[in-house]
Structure formats: C-alpha cells, structure tokens
Chain A
Amino acid sequence: MLWTVDPERDEPLFAQIAAQVRGAVASGELRTGDRLPSARVLATSLEVNLHTVLRAYQDLRDEGLLDLRRGRGAVIAGHADYAALDEPVAALVDAARRAGVPPTAATALVQAAFARATTPEGR
C-alpha cells in the first residue's frame, strides 16, 4: 500500500501513519492477516525515526487492530467492522465541508458525541 507522511502538517507523524492503516482497513485495502512492513523498513522508506513507526504500530495494537509479535512482525488482527464507518464518515466530512465547519470543530463534535454516548455506561 501507499504510505505518505507530511512533516509540515500539525498532526504528529505517528498519528499520520496510524491513520493510514485505519483508513486502509476501513476501505478494505488491508484485511485480517495482512502483514505490514517491518517498522524498520517503513521508517527507512519514509525517512522518519524508527520509534515514530513503533509508536504508530503500538497505538494500533492498543486499539486491537494490530497483532505485534516478535519474529512475526505486524499483522492486521481480527477487528471490528471499520468498513461500516467508511460511508458515514465520508458523509460527515462532506457535510462539514458544505456547511463550512472546520475539520477541527467537526472532530471535536464527534468526540463530544462519543463522550455523551459512553458516560452513562461509566466507561
């Protein structure tokens, strides 16, 4: 798959890398059992620090999206149906653009909605 990072953007590099894995899973480009390149290979190719890629991979493991095993590398784990969000998210982005709501505000609204939805269960 194609990986890109943009050091000029405000989003940290590790977050950019993790976001691309999530996006590829959501779009179906990456599926359970697919192997990601080793952190060293990816770090060299993208000219970023090894720990930047490791941080991204660890975040994805904490989400349950990646299996990180010594000697086996990084493998997409059995995971929630990320693809189910593909269309609603695209619709949200589209709606935000048309309404002129900036991306930061739109994501803040999503986070607030999650906070409201999860508080009663006492997560």
Chain B
Amino acid sequence: MTTTSTTPAGARGDERTAPPHRRSTTLLALVLPLALMAVPALAALGWRDELPERIANHWGADGPDGFSSFAGAFVPLLVGTGLCVAQWAFAFWRGHDGVTRRGLVATSAGLGALYAVVVTGTLASQRGLADGALAPGGGPTVVLGLAAAVVVAGVAFLLAPADARLPARGPVDADARRVPLSRTQRAAWTRTVGSPSALLPAGAVVAATTVLAAVLDEWMALLVPVGLSVLLAAMLLWRVTVDARGLEARSVLGWPRVRVPVDEVLRADVVDVRPLREFGGWGYRLGRGGRAGLVLRAGEAIQVRRTGSRVLVVTVDDAATAAALLNTLADRRRPRDDRAERGTPRATAG
C-alpha cells in the first residue's frame, strides 16, 4: 500500500481514492511546462525595444504572411498554458490509471517545450528588424521545437511514476459472471481485435504515399508507406488475452501493451462502447468517469474494475467469456479466506 496512502490496510481496494503521485504530476505537468513557457515571455519583455512594430507569427510559401502586435505575441503562450493546465487537471483528478496519467504528464511537458522553443525562436530571429516581413523562415525553429518536445515528453514520461502493485482483498463480487472450472483446470481466452472502420482510410493513406513515391521515382520515399504500415498495424490490430496472469492487450507487433494483473481485478463485466460519445474517439484514451479505454471499434467490450479506482475498457468480441474467465481466475488467486462462497450470492448470504 505504498502508493495510495489513503487506502487503509485491510480495505477491499474498491473504495474511491484520489489518483496517486499527485506531487510529481503537478511538478511535471504544471510547474515544468509553465516554467519553460516563462522563458519566451521574459525574453519578449527584455527584447521589447528591439522587436519590430508588427511581429511575424505565421509563414507561407513566400515568407511571413501573418503578423501580430507585441501583445499578440503572448497569445500562443496563453493557448499553451491553457492546454497544459487542462492536461495537468485531467492527470491530477482523473489520472488513476498509470498509462493515462503518464501520457497526460508527457503531453503537457512536451507542449510546454514546443511552445517555449518555437516562440523564443521566432522572437529571437526578429530582434533588430525594421519589419516582421523581413523575418527569416521559421522551419529550423519548428524542427528544433518538435525535437525538444519529443525529448522533454519522453523524459517526463519516464520520470512520472507508474502504478505500484495494489492487490485486491476480499472476493470478486458473487453476482459477477463466472465460467465453471474445476480446481485442477487451467484456462485461457484469447482473441484478436481490429479497427475495421480505420482500415479504409489507413489503406488509402498507405496507397497514396506508395503512388507518390513511385511517381517521384524516389525509392527512399517508400520508407513512408512502409513505416506507416508498421505503425498502423501496431495501432489497429491487437491480441487480447485472459489467463492466470490476468488481462493483457498487446499490439500484434508486441508493443505497446496494456496489462491488468489478476490480483488487481475487482470484477469484470461486458459493456457496450460508443467511442465518440464515451471516449471522444478511438485509441488508448481517457473516457467519461476517468475510465481508461483501448477503443478500437464501437460495440462489445470487456470492462475491468481494478484496485485504485481504476477502470479499463477493451473493445473485443466475445467479451462475456473473457469477463467470466477473468472473474473466475481472479477469485482463484485471492487469499483463501477472502474467496466468495460459490453459488451463494452475498445479498442472500447476509
């Protein structure tokens, strides 16, 4: 019980708790990006007299095509601050699930780095100019900003602590579905799930980039469709497995993967998922009520309630069997005195 000091020893593990690691979340997702974005703000104030009357803030094919006043140069930083505060708030209040929390923290830190580098760079390149229209192209600055964002986000992800082990106590709810298994039987359930609605656009993009590479006669450009195919396969095709270790969903490439250890399962159920309404889209997402979801399509899904107020939803066919097996195997792993009396629902047992 090292992570959630709010969980008293002896609790079942299904009480509502605050997300863990709030201090590191605040440091990495709020203090760090705001400090990074303070650099261009302070630099702008220091360079006020050297900057042109109208400051270039957007570039077209023929050089700068969008301009702002001095005060307007702060607008992107305000936007960045708003985005970072939103990421932090989700992580602070809804970051029960470790992957979600660390993803939000990394996004916030990366955004802070991106805005800091891009705004500082565009302002620095316009010091001493008579007019913003004379500003050099911003390409290198943007590339540098993106590189900084990736590095800072990666470091923040690694620095943000993952969830510690938090075994459940007490039995799996008696009314949760089960599969009949004898004491000596070992059981596993496994199935692949794809994202059919994403296949068409994904295929179109791969085909288009392949054609483009052929037309341009640039074999190096073929790396784009090849890389895309690998990336799309990783995101769109997953294998979901339930066995004595718990639930695991992994991309057919082997990574990324999502796991729920069997001893952290409180109960598993079947739910019907509407991706846009409940999760705002597809992929590994934070949904309504703080649920983490691996949402590849609409419809049938297994929903696992887990210790530490965590809920994981994975869209997959035959979720009823998966949920029933997970409940059965979770019960098996509970300490003997915690196990539910088989066939005696608790409502009638009391």
Contact = CB atoms under 8 A, between A and B. Distances in A.
A41 B239 contact: yes
B341 interface: no
Interface in B287-309: none
Contact of A7 (B186, B190, B244, B321): B186
A50 interface: no
B185 A35 contact: no
| Interface residue tally on A, bucketed by range | 10 to 19
A10 interface: no
Given A2-B179, A2-B325, A47-B244, A42 B185 contact: no
Given A1-B318, A2-B321, A42 B190 contact: yes
Contacts of A35: 192
B239 A4 contact: no
Interface string A42-70: 10111110000000000000000000000
Contacts of A4: 181, 185-188
Interface string B181-201: 110111111111000000000
B241 interface: yes
A3 B189 contact: yes
Given A2-B179, A6-B182, A45 B192 contact: no
Contacts of A42: 188, 190
A8 B244 CA distance: 17
Interface string A62-105: 00000000000000000000000000000000000000000000
B241 A41 contact: yes
A35 B191 CA distance: 9
A46 B243 contact: yes
Contacts of B325: 2
Interface string A16-38: 00000000000000000001010
Nearest to B248: A45
A37 B191 CA distance: 8
B271 to A, nearest CB: 20
Contacts of A8: 184
Looking at chain A's contact residues, the main secondary structure is: mixed
B190 A41 contact: yes
B239 A2 contact: no
Nearest to B190: A37
A2 B186 contact: no
Contacts of A41: 190, 239, 241
A7 B181 contact: no
Given A37-B239, A41-B241, A46 B186 contact: yes
A3 to B, nearest CB: 5
Contacts of B188: 2-4, 42, 45-46
A60 to B, nearest CB: 17
A7 B184 contact: yes
A5 interface: yes
A45 B185 contact: no
Nearest to A48: B186
A77 B321 CA distance: 25
B184 A6 contact: yes
Nearest to A8: B184
B192 A2 contact: no
B252 to A, nearest CB: 10
Nearest to B242: A45
A2 B188 CA distance: 6
Given A37-B239, A45-B241, A2 B187 contact: yes
A103 B143 CA distance: 72
B184 A3 contact: no
Contacts of A1: 189-191, 318, 321
Output the residue of B189, B191, B321 with the most chain A CB within 10 A. Answer: B189
Interface of A: 1-8, 35, 37, 41-42, 44-48
25 contacts: A1-B191, A1-B318, A2-B179, A2-B188, A2-B321, A2-B325, A3-B190, A4-B186, A4-B187, A5-B185, A5-B186, A6-B182, A7-B184, A35-B192, A37-B239, A37-B241, A41-B241, A42-B188, A44-B243, A45-B241, A45-B243, A45-B245, A46-B188, A46-B243, A47-B244
